[in-house]
Amino acid sequence: MTDNTDKVKIMIKNALADGRLSRSDSDLIRNAVYYTGKVTGEKARLWRELQARVSNGEVILEN
């Protein structure tokens, strides 16, 4: 099994390029975080930071 942390980072960067996060991009990122069934601390941090940015209004969550 390989750790896909770099892939998750790139997915987040690409998804947020326009300051918006689509539901489908959010689902894809979440699936990449949980893909192996074993979430690393780094991937958990990335996911929490993404959620915080949406909650704080830094990123607009689209339907």
For 10-45, write each residue's pLDDT tens digit. 999 999 999 999 999 999 999 999 887 889 999 999
Longest dimension (CA), the chain: 35
* Total number of domains constituting the chain: 1
Confidence (pLDDT) at 2: 56
Mean pLDDT in residue range 4-13 = 94
CA-CA distance, 14 to 21, in Å (whole number)?
Answer: 10
Cα–Cα distances (Å) from 41 to 13, 17, 22, 33, in that order, read: 19, 24, 24, 10
Q: How confident is the model at residue 1 (pLDDT cuts 50, 70, 90)?
A: very low
SS3 at position 59: coil
**Domain limits at 32?**
5-62
